[in-house]
Amino acid sequence: MAYDPDNLFMRIIRNELPCVKVYEDDHVIAFMDIMPQSEGHTLVVPKVAGENLLDTPPASIAAAMQVVQRLARAAHAAFGCPGVMVAQFNGAAAGQTVFHLHFHVIPRWTDRPDGAHGRHRADPATLEAQASQWREALR
């Protein structure tokens, strides 16, 4: 598959589509997943074009992973969760649905079942409140 420069995440990066932003720098943007699996489910997306882990420049992957690690460290303070799941999919057969490299950072609890990803759109006010919790924990 050829990389589509008009994919959903590139349109968010170019400010053509809105998102509930958690973090941004010159290399990476992190925003709330609108169809979350769990409270606080966030996506970390390199700004450089790349379909998946296999064809994205290593420097972009490294920049994204630094943000993934920062979010994972901040998850307990932001949401009081005892665990964090980090997920990344390469290709449709692996479950990738947006063909631009991205990492899922998902707070996890032992006493709460995860929801099914991509089934229910979250309330925008709830996502903004959770993004605020992330931003405060990242300070």
Closest CA to 56 of 8, 102, 4: 102
- At 1, the pLDDT band (50, 70, 90 cuts) reads low
Closest CA to 29 of 84, 58, 1, 68: 68
Distance CA 63, CA 29 (A): 10
Continuous H helices in 16-111:
58-79
Q: Is the pLDDT of residue 79 over 70?
A: yes
Tens-digit pLDDT profile for residues 24-44: 999 999 999 999 999 999 999
Q: Are 76 and 82 in contact (CB under 8 A)?
A: yes
- At 2, the pLDDT band (50, 70, 90 cuts) reads confident
**What is the side-by-side strand order in the sheet with 103-108?**
21-24, 28-32, 42-46, 103-108, 83-87
How confident is the model over 47-60, as a mean pLDDT? 96
Name residue 55's amino acid: D
* Average pLDDT for the chain: 95
Domains belonging to the chain, first-starting first, are 8-138 (3.30.428.10)
Distance CA 98, CA 120 (A): 17
Predicted TM-score (pTM) of the model is 0.95
Position with higher pLDDT, 37 vs 113: 37
- At 81, the pLDDT band (50, 70, 90 cuts) reads very high
Give the pLDDT confidence score for residue 88 in this predicted structure: 97
Give the pLDDT confidence score for residue 119 in this predicted structure: 76
Quick one: tokens of 48? 């450089």
Q: Is the pLDDT of residue 114 over 90?
A: no
Task: Provide the annotated active-site residues.
Answer: 102
